[in-house]
Structure 1
Amino acid sequence: MMKNIKPFMLERNFLILMFGVFVNGLGSGIYLVAGMLLVLNLSGSVFYSGLAMFAISSASVLSFLIAPLANYAKYKHGLVYSNLAKAAILFTIPILNYTVGLHVWYVISLLFIVALFTQYTYPIESTILPIIVGEDNVLEANSCLQTIREAMDIAFIAGAGIIVTIIGTVPAISIFAICILLVSLLYAFFNFQQPDITKEKGQSIGSASKKYFIDLKAGFNYIKNSLIPKMIYSIVFINIAMVIMTTNLPAFSLIKSNGVEAVYGFYLASLSLGIMIGTIITPKLKHLDFGKIIIVSYIGTGIMWIGTATLPLVPSIILYSTGAISIGILNILVFSSIQKQVETAYVGRVITLLTSAAALGMPVGSLIGGILGETFAAEISVLICGISMIIFSIFWLSSSVLRKLPEIDRVKLFRDRRVRV
């Protein structure tokens, strides 16, 4: 058994990161269910669920503005203090709930602020991974961490609906706050070699601002002549469709289950199961042509999610899970290739530029999803998402550049730049 364990998996810093991901996963599934249900319960309207998703996705759009800030503090300090701040903010929900009461707009605002902190910590975690495990182990390390994330989501999202029903939405969010606090304490034990932070003492606000915008512009210039912009347009489109569906998922699950709230957690867990399967099998697929994998898998996803919208509860959940496999595959292949081909100083910025651009469609999808949910049955939104997946595949098929992408290790994201070795 020990022969199958890669040396990087026993390295101190990777173990800390892995346990941090594990502890975060203990509460994030419950938080995801409880947060959306809290908004729905406080407002009684799917439209406000759309606004909540709009707030969260707007933070994702702004991530390209936040990413350069990671270079102004040591990575370890950034992870520790930002998680502490996030935990403190989350604890205000139970405090206000048991004192002056909660308002739906406060909860939506809080979801936005917490999401902003996540946009700061995620690129740091992506940046330190190659430092900890080395470029040769990035794909396997990503697969390992993402498998843990999805496995925890399955375990806790599946039961989240039941837990929320028993203890309530506010205590459930408190559990997540405690988990975030523990993650902050775990990350305090990091001891990896950190790049020097070049910061002059007594630097004026004007010069600091100038340096910030220089760093921001450098991230844009870095990807300008790369393959990434060619992918962004299709990803924006698909994100609009995905958020239209997820905004209506609470109402959709209630319709499919005749009012059983716990089923919303089952749908989320099935999504995580599919993503986890895709994550696990990705290292076995890296020898196949990237373009062909995406085209074939997303056509399958579209067909399956059309079935999710039209079939009864049990086959609907099964097809929803199976269709999500392609998401796990795409995530690992794209982010691993970026982490291997980009200099350490730019990894966070490039990843957040990609995710920010991809997230541009999410606020639009949230508002459209909220309006559709108020006007039509929730099944329509899921059906639209399934059809959009097929359109996404057709777009890749019609693009000679995307269609002919080779196996991931031979894909050159930056054609005019040497790949890191």
Structure 2
Amino acid sequence: MNRLLTNKRFLALFLGRIITNIGDSLYYVASMWLVHEIGNNPFYTGLAGFLILLPKALQFLTGPFIDKWKIRRTLITTQCLEAVLVLIIPLAYFLNVLSVELILVVMPIIAFIEEFAYPTQIKALPLLLKKEDLMKGNSLFAFAYQGVDLVFNAISGIIVAVFGAITIFIIDSFTFALAAMLFALVKVSTKNKTENKSEKGLSVAISEYFKDLGEGIKVVFDSLFWALLVGSLLTNFAIGITMAILPTFAEQLGGARMYGILLTALSAGSLTGALLGSFLGRRNIGRTTIICFTLGALSWSSAGFVASPIFTSLLFGLAWIPIGAVNVLFAGISQSIIPNRLLGRVNSVMYSGSAISMPIGSLLGGYLATVVRSQTIFIFAGVGALFIAIIWIIHPKLRQLPQADKINTDTFGIRIIEREGCNPSEKCSSSN
């Protein structure tokens, strides 16, 4: 671990990830609560969730750009854009023109920009670390992501309750600006010849874009990765429903503070799972995943059933432990078996494929909350986590997945024909 933290380029990337996630955590809580408060209708929170999550489902379209664009430039640009856009909300407030409609326009734009930022960070990781350090690096990244959420979801709930949501948007702008400065210190070298500056015609560029996109899709659907998407698709549908009704559900248990606490419990569970990722990776992954997600589904539904501020928070947090663990495990596995030149588009296809059901679930959740009690919806949404366990039980290759260090391209059935001049085992050489 010390070797990672003494790596100056990795440290700058790591700190930048922490700072930008602080901004994202604060912004998400403030936005959802502001929509809940101004709109005074759960349908609006469902619509807000739909619009925030929709860019995640479209992330596969960004993959070819992420693989071609310079890493440092992409990271800096995304943070600067977010720093400016997030100020639109407080400016509209002070000009007395703030509306639900404006928030619903700004939110998805910022969310779309994030779909370039986070995958680019993941792509940079294997270029800064040795293969044997990737699992630890991913665990630290998960800590940066979930650990920040753990603290700042609670803090943002308190800030909203005491000072109002507008204050958070002003703080956000500073966090994104600081993250841009940190990312400016990240110098990554790649040997991807597609990152040259030669000018190409529009038709050629479009043709290459779709060729690159198709290559990423082919890797996923010609390998075991596609099977992972099926359970994730159903589970994310349930997550989308839950996130849409969470402000209304929290209102019944204690208001804005309780909303922050529930999101904090979610982050605590994900963080705990992320920290357990390396440990679980030394066990039979197939069997461990089935057990974890079965227990997670039971915890989730029980959290809604008891409807108690303390026990609901504890049980809801427990339900997210397997999600955090599996995310870290498969992030490390994919980085070690997929060539870096394909990593951006393959990861984005995987992410989009699993996230596409979340905005649909959010929209449905917002509607259902207008006709059904949010507690009832919360209970039944917990069953969604059970689908991953079911898929892994009925799929023999998933059920028999060994320890992480024994998984390779053959395990997942990955067959990649390398393009001329590109060797996946080579490190990179052109400056970003």
Q: Which residue of 275, 295, 304 maps to 2:290? A: 295
User: Equivalent residue of 1:101, what SS?
Assistant: coil
Listed as ranges, the matches of 1:209-228 within 5 Å are 209-228=206-225
Across the two proteins, how many residue pairs are aligned to each other?
415
The worse-fitting range, judged by mean Cα deviation, of 191-200 and 214-223 is 191-200
2:233 corresponds in structure 1 to 236
Give the TM-score normalised by structure 1.
Answer: 0.94
1:281 maps to what in 2?
276
Whole-Å separation in 2 of the counterparts to 1:200 and 1:146: 34
How far apart are 1:197 and its partner, in Å?
Answer: 4.6
Q: How far apart, in 2, do the equivalents of 1:127 and 1:174 lie?
A: 30
Counterparts in 2 of 1:146 and 1:67: CA distance versus 1, 3 Å: same
- Matching residue's letter, 2:122: S
- Partner of residue 249, structure 1: 246
In the alignment, the residues of structure 1 paired with residue 94 and residue 269 of structure 2 have an alpha-carbon distance, to the nearest angstrom, of: 38
Comparing 197-206 with 336-345, greater Cα deviation is found at 197-206
Deviations 1:167-215 (A, max 9, x none): 2112212211210111011111122323455445442222221221111
Which amino acid in the other structure matches residue 332 of structure 2? S
User: CA contact under 8 A between 1:274 and 1:323: conserved in structure 2?
Assistant: yes
Q: Write the distance in 1 (CA, Å) between the matches of 2:348 and 2:324.
A: 18
CA contact (8 A) 2:59 2:349 kept: yes
- 8 A Cα contact 1:340 1:420, kept in partner: no
Q: Aligned with 1:405: secondary structure?
A: coil
Shift of residue 416, structure 1, vs aligned partner: 4.4
Letter in 1 for 2:24: S
Q: Which residue of 1 aligns with 2:413?
A: 415
Q: Is residue 295 of structure 2 the alignment partner of residue 324 of structure 1?
A: no
Give the equivalent residue in structure 2 for 1:39. Answer: 35
**CA positional deviation for 1:394:** 2.3
SS in 1 for 2:402: coil
Deviates more, 1:20-29 or 1:236-245: 20-29
Distance 1:25-1:66 versus aligned 2 partners, 3 A rule: closer
Note if contact 2:290-2:393 (Cα within 8 Å) is conserved in structure 1: yes
Match 2:371 to one of 375, 397, 407: 375
Cα deviation 1:24-78 (Å, max 9, x = unaligned)? 2333322121010111122111101111111111101111111211234311111
**Structure 1 unmatched runs, 5+:** none
In structure 1, the partner of 2:421 is none
The counterpart of 1:358, out of the listed 345, 354, 366, is 354
Give the corresponding residue for 1:83.
79
Q: 1 CA distance for matches of 2:372 and 2:337?
A: 45
Question: Residue type of the partner of 2:112?
Answer: L
In structure 2, C-alpha distance between the alignment counterparts of 1:91 and 1:155, rounded to whole Å: 23
Q: Deviations over 1:86-137 (max 9, x none)?
A: 2111111111221251121221121111111111111111111000012221
- For residue 152 of structure 2, give the secondary structure of its aligned residue in structure 1: helix
Matches of 1:339 and 1:375 in 2, distance apart? 44
1:285: Cα distance to partner?
1.5
TM-score, scaled relative to structure 2? 0.92
Structure-1 separation of matches of 2:210 and 2:394: 37
State the partner residue of 1:156: 152
Write the letter of the residue equivalent to 1:226: S
Cα deviation, residue 245, structure 1: 1.0
1:342/1:420 contact within 8 Å kept: no
Structure-2 residue corresponding to 1:96: 92
Which runs of structure 1 show a deviation greater than 3 angstroms over 4 or more consecutive aligned residues? Answer: 194-202, 416-421
Partner Cα separation in structure 2 for residue 295 and residue 329 of structure 1: 12
Match of 2:430 in 1: none
What's 1:337 paired with?
333
Secondary structure of 1:244 counterpart: helix
Which whole-Å deviations, capped at 9, do the CAs of 1:252-307 have from their partners, x for residues lacking one? 111123xx321100000011111111111111121111111111001111111121
Are 1:304 and 2:299 an aligned pair?
yes
The AA in structure 2 aligned to 1:217 is G
Within 2, Cα distance between the matches of 1:6 and 1:223? 34
CA distance in 1, matches of 2:203, 2:341: 23
Counterpart pick for 2:64 among 65, 68, 73: 68
What residue is the counterpart of 2:420 in the other structure? none
The whole-number CA distance in structure 2 between the counterparts of 1:307 and 1:208 is 52
Q: 5+ residue gaps in structure 2?
A: 417-423, 427-432
Deviations 1:219-267 (A, max 9, x none): 112223211111111110110011111111111111123xx32110000
Q: How far apart are the structure 2 equivalents of 1:19 and 1:98?
A: 32
Q: What does residue 185 of structure 1 align with?
A: 181
2:104 aligned residue (102, 108, 125) = 108
Which residue number corresponds to residue 125 of structure 1?
A: 121
d(CA) in 1 for partners of 2:207, 2:391:
40
Aligned partner letter, 2:317: S
Paired with 1:200 and 1:389, the residues of 2 have a C-alpha distance of 45
* Percent identity for Structure 1 against Structure 2: 25
